[in-house]
Amino acid sequence: MSIENQGGGGQRGDLSPEDKAAFERRIAGLDKRLGDVKSREAAATKASRGRSSQNRGMAYGLRMASELVAAVLVGGLIGYALDHFLGTKPWLFLVMFILGFAAGVTNVMRSYDKVQKDVAKTTGGNIGHAVPDDNDD
Amino acid sequence: MPDPIHQFDLERLFQLNLFGYDASFTNSSLYMVVVVVAIVGFLLYAIQTRSLVPTRLQSLAEMAYEFVAGMIRDSMGEEGMKFFPLIFTLFMFIFAANMIGLIPGAFTVTSHVIVTAALALLVFLTVIIAGFAKNGLGFLKLFVPDGVPIYVLPLVSAIEVISFFSRPISHSLRLFANMLAGHITLKVFAGFIVMLLGSAGAAKFLMPLPLIAVVGITALEFLVAFLQAYVFTMLTCMYLNDALHPGH
Domain membership of residue A101 (yes or no) is yes
Query: How far, in Å, CA of A41 to CA of B69, rounded?
Result: 28
Partners of B25 in the β-ladder? B14
Residue B165 with chain A: CB contacts under 8 Å = 74, 78
Q: What is the mean pLDDT of residues A16-38?
A: 85
- B210 neighbors B190 (Cβ within 8 angstroms): yes
Contact flag B166-A58 (C-beta cutoff 8 Å): no
Question: Per-residue pLDDT for A121 more than 80?
Answer: no
From the list B159, B174, B177, the residue facing A102 with the nearest CB is B159
pLDDT at B214: 92
CB contact under 8 A, A66 and B170: yes
In a domain, A137, yes or no: no
Our CA-based measurement puts residue A131 at a distance from the nearest CA of chain B, in whole angstroms, of 27
- Check whether B110 has a pLDDT greater than 50: yes
Let me know if residue A9 belongs to a domain.
no
Sign of the Cα pseudo-torsion (A122, A107, B174, B81, in order): positive
Query: How far off is chain B from A65, nearest CA to CA, in Å?
Result: 9
Chain A residues within an 8 Å CB radius of B227: 55, 58-59, 62
Average pLDDT over residues A91-115: 88
Domain range enclosing B224: 6-244
Mean pLDDT of B82-100: 94
- Tens of pLDDT, residue by residue over A35-77, are 888 888 877 776 666 556 666 666 677 678 888 888 999 999 9
CB count, 10 Å around CB of B6? 8
Is residue A90 included in any domain, yes or no? Answer: yes
For residue A5, pLDDT over 60 is answered with: no
Residue B86 near residue B224, CB atoms below 8 Å: no
pLDDT value at A129 more than 60? no
> pLDDT class for B138, splitting at 50, 70, 90?
confident
Residue A2 has pLDDT above 50, yes or no: no
Q: Evaluate whether B87 touches B229 at the Cβ level (below 8 Å).
A: no
B162 interfaces chain A, CB cutoff of 8 Å: yes
On the 0-12 / 13-18 / 19+ scale of CB atoms within 10 A, B243 is buried
Residues 93-132 of A with CB under 8 A from B: 96, 99-100, 102-104, 106-107, 114
Give the per-residue pLDDT at A12.
Answer: 60
Q: Is A88 helix (H, G, I), strand (E, B) or coil?
A: coil
The DSSP string of B50-95 is --SS--HHHHHHHHHHHHHHHHHHHHH-GGGGGGHHHHHHHHHHHH
Check residue A105 and give its pLDDT. 92
For residue B169, which residues of chain A lie inside 8 Å, CB to CB? Answer: 70, 73-74
In chain A, residues with a C-beta closer than 8 Å to the C-beta of B231 are 59, 62-63
| Residue scoring higher pLDDT (B231 or A120) | B231
**What was the pLDDT predicted at A42?**
79
Q: Measured in whole angstroms, how far is the alpha carbon of residue A61 from the centre of its chain?
A: 17
Tally of structural domains, chain A: 1
Q: Over the stretch B144-182, which tens digit does the pLDDT of each residue have?
A: 888 888 888 888 888 888 989 999 999 899 899 999 999
* pLDDT, position B54: 82
- Cβ contacts of B223 on chain A, cutoff 8 Å: 55, 58
The string of pLDDT tens digits covering residues B196-248 is: 888 878 778 888 888 999 999 999 999 999 999 999 998 999 899 888 887 65
What is the pLDDT at residue A1?
A: 46
Look at residue A3 and tell me if it is in a domain: no
Query: B169 at the A interface (CB within 8 A)?
Result: yes
Residue A137 pLDDT exceeds 60: no
The residue that leads in pLDDT, A114 or A93, is A93
At residue A9 the predicted structure's pLDDT band, cuts being 50, 70 and 90, is very low
- More confident of the two residues B18 and B63: B63
Higher per-residue pLDDT: A136 or A128: A136
Question: B129 or B23: which carries more pLDDT confidence?
Answer: B129
Size of interface A-B (CB pairs under 8 A): 66
What gap in Å lies between CA B72 and CA B236, rounded to an integer? 9
**What is the average pLDDT value for chain B, to the nearest integer?**
89
pLDDT value for A128: 42
Range of the domain at A110: 14-122
pLDDT higher than 90, residue A125: no
Res A6 pLDDT > 50:
no
A74 closest CB neighbour out of B169, B227, B234:
B169
Split into its structural domains, chain B has a count of: 1
- Chain B residue nearest residue A100, CA to CA: B162
Cβ atoms of residues A40 and A66 within 8 Å: no
- pLDDT > 80? residue A84: yes
Mean pLDDT, range B83-105, rounded to an integer = 94
Please name the residues between 39 and 98 in chain A that touch chain B, using a CB distance below 8 Å: 55, 58-59, 62-63, 66-67, 69-71, 73-75, 78, 96
